[in-house]
Amino acid sequence: LSRICSSLHIPVEPAAWWAEHQQLSPSQRFMEFLRDVALAEAQAPIVIFIDEIDTTLNLDFRDDFFAAIRAMYNERASTPAYQQITFVLLGVATPTDLIQDRDRTPFNVGREIVLREFSYDDAAPLRDGLDAKLAVAEQEHGSPFEQEREPAPTPGDTMLRAIFAWTDGHPYLT
Q: Is the pLDDT of residue 150 over 60?
A: no
Supply the DSSP symbol for 33.
Answer: I
Instruction: Give pLDDT tens digits for 108-147.
Output: 667 777 778 888 888 888 888 888 887 776 667 766 555 5
Taking residues 37-64, what's their average pLDDT? 87
Mode of pairing for the β-strands spanning 85-89 and 46-50: parallel
The three-class DSSP label of residue 93 is coil
Q: Is the pLDDT of residue 173 over 80?
A: no
The three-class DSSP label of residue 31 is helix
Neighbours of 153 (CB within 10 A): 13
Which positions ≥6 away from 164 have C-beta within 8 Å? 120, 123, 174
Instruction: Give pLDDT tens digits for 57-95.
Output: 888 888 888 889 888 998 988 998 899 999 988 888 777
d(CA 18, CA 31): 11
**pLDDT reported for residue 30:** 92
d(CA 63, CA 104): 8
